[in-house]
Amino acid sequence: MRRHERALVFFAGMLVAGAAFWSTQHGATGAASLTQEDIDNAVRDSLENTPPPSVAAKAAEAIRGAVVRVEGVYSGATGEPDMEGGVGTGVVVVDKGVILTNMHVIAGAERVKVTFADGLESEATVMGVKPEHDLAVLQAKTIPDDLKPATLRGTGDLQVGDHVVAVGFPFGIGPSASAGVVSGLRREFVSPEGKRALSNLIQFDAAANPGNSGGPLVTADGQVVGIVTAILNPTNQRVFIGIGFAVPIENAANAIGVSPF
């Protein structure tokens, strides 16, 4: 019921609007009775004037509070301030501040900093890594009081063509959302440098760019089915041309050490 609460409220509102519409049209005479055609016309009028939010909008809103910005920090030269490395994304999976991201996002960093959806910044420690899945588990030292983790969903019933949304910080801008569909399952990917070979990946066509790495790939109802890890581009340009890959959430569950399903 909680998952569909907004939809129920929306359609309840349409019924109320329909009743008001009928009352306006027929209330003066008091003789007409409410017919199915009256209800259909009222619902149609409500939909035309107040369209429901898009699939992508609902998915992005559902995951928004669990998405974090992840940055590697490096010590500056003597007397100089610390330097920030590349920006990536993470997703909160346990309300105590446990965060999933890509291992390559924090590789080589001396320290890790995360920024939560409400703007709170915190240092984070690396609890563990899974190089074979390009996954890292972080523990934030400070967390918001009302932190809510993402809902995770197994990929057993995921199908090619299912709607998905990628949420993250492409090129450091965000949080940003892009929508698409699952375009393949059980794919393999080898990085252009030949340093990473990943298998059993979800292929998707929602736009992803550097900075999306480590962010959640979510279903239409905002449940996380994968962690965005790579994009495919036959050129040397690090930009999206239509194919992205995500590590299935089952592999992420193994990285946490406990099954969340």
- Give 176-207 pLDDT, tens digit per residue: 999 999 999 999 998 766 567 899 999 999 99
pLDDT for 2 beyond 70: no
- Active site (catalytic) residues: 104, 134, 213
Indicate whether 7 pLDDT > 70: no
Closest CA to 69 of 126, 135, 118, 9: 118
- Tell me the mean pLDDT in the region 150-166: 95
CATH code of the domain occupying 62-140: 2.40.10.10
Say if CB 216 and CB 201 are below 8 A apart.
Answer: no
Peptide bond into 175 cis (omega under 30): yes
- Scanning the structure block, which residue is given the tokens 């794919």? 187
Count, residues in the chain? 261
Q: What is the pLDDT of residue 1?
A: 44
Q: Worst-scoring range by mean pLDDT, 36-50, 63-77, 242-256?
A: 36-50
The b-or-e profile of 53-68 (16+ CB within 10 A means b, else e) is eeebebbbebbebbbb
79: its two tokens:
């007397």
Class of the domain covering 163-256? mainly beta
Between residues 14 and 152, the one the model is more confident about? 152
* 62-140 and 163-256, same CATH topology: yes
Q: What is the mean pLDDT of residues 197-224?
A: 95
**Domain locations in the chain?**
5-52, 62-140, 163-256
Question: How many Cβ atoms from other residues are within 10 Å of residue 42's Cβ?
Answer: 22
